[in-house]
Amino acid sequence: MRTMNEMRAGVLSGVGRLEIIEVTRPQISSPQEVLLRIETIGICGSDLHYFRTGRIGDQVVDFPFIIGHEAVAVVKEVGSNKGDLRPGDWVVIDPALSCGRCDQCRAGRSHTCRQLRFLGCPGQRAGCLQDYLVLPRNNCFKINEEESTLGILVEPIAIAIYAHHLAEGVRNKKVIVLGGGPLGLVVAYISRQKGCQWLGVTDKVDARLEGARKVGADWIGNPLDQNIIKEVESINPEQVDIIFECCGQQEALDQAEILLKP
């Protein structure tokens, strides 16, 4: 029987092996911290990579390891510096943990913290695939309980929205999204909703390209059987205005250099 000091955690014990084990329940150790009961977890593409291959590039899992960084939770306990959080509040979490002390944090750029740690990232911090988690209260954002199911989408959608913020507007622009995975499709959907003139999406999986059509793509391309550069240039001889690279492949970056207007 599980005691009050124990909880369940989903642990990668090897490539392709996920086990549910009993571990020690975390405790608040700082006035700034809150104890969360995890209610819902999203499965990111990075989680699948760690499960299937044990790595992403030079980020290699040291087994056993707890994955997960997209979560909706309920506040169970708050530290003495509780701010506006109270037990029972529903929150979505920010998985990027900044130090709060370096020059970047002091300048208001915590996302470029020199000691940034990310939940569920090998060598940085165990993830949220567990019953309870302790986080700084600044990494918790309140939502209504009625929105809790959709709350799991906040973190990935925020990435897409921020990408559009950096692009400084797509209205009446020609846009191509290189990589039609979940994030790429969200970026494509936002591009269409914000009034882009032309929208193209590429991916090596035809099912994803079908999804791109559904969110409004004017053109889709699979680099496994199409010449992406030749086809896009035939449609847009003066190149495209904005490119969102959403697959992390060198091939896509090479295409972007050619297809993007100077």
What pLDDT, on a 0 to 100 scale, did the predictor assign at position 2?
72
Q: Are residues 50 and 172 in the same domain?
A: no
What DSSP character marks residue 168? T
DSSP 3-state assignment of 3? coil
pLDDT at 81: 84
Give the residue numbers spanning the domain of 100.
Answer: 6-152
- Supply the pLDDT for residue 201: 99
- CA angle at 218 for the pair 217 and 224, rounded to the nearest 5°: 75
**Is residue 45 located within the same domain as residue 108?**
yes
E-strand ranges in the chain read 6-14, 17-24, 33-42, 55-56, 59-60, 65-66, 70-78, 90-93, 96-97, 117-118, 132-136, 140-143, 174-178, 198-202, 219-221, 242-245
Phi, psi of 209 (to 5 degrees): -65, -35
Q: Are 73 and 120 part of one and the same domain?
A: yes
For residue 151, the model assigns a pLDDT of: 95
The segments of the chain whose pLDDT lies below 70 read 1
Print burial letters for 222-260: b (CB count within 10 Å at least 16), e (below 16): ebeeeebeeebeeebeeebbbbbbbbeeeebeebeeebe
**Residue written as tokens 């707890």?**
66
Mark which of 102, 131, 152 sits at the end of a domain.
152
Q: What is the pLDDT of residue 1?
A: 66
Between CA 159 and CA 179 the distance in angstroms is 15
174-178 vs 59-60, strand pairing mode: unpaired
Shared-domain flag, residues 87 and 119: yes
Residues 61 and 84 in one domain: yes
118 and 208 fall within a common domain: no
CATH number of the domain enclosing 234: 3.40.50.720
Residues 111 and 143 in one domain: yes
- Residue 230 domain-assigned (yes or no): yes
Structure confidence at residue 27 (pLDDT): 97
User: What's the pTM?
Assistant: 0.87
Domain count, the chain: 2
CATH of the domain at 107: 3.90.180.10
- Does 1 map to a domain? no
The first and second tokens of residue 124, run together, are: 């940085």
59 lies in the same domain as 147? yes
**Any domain includes 207:** yes
Q: Are residues 190 and 87 in the same domain?
A: no
Cα gap 69→125, rounded to integer Å: 10
Q: Are 215 and 134 in the same domain?
A: no
Same domain membership, residue 144 and residue 173 = no
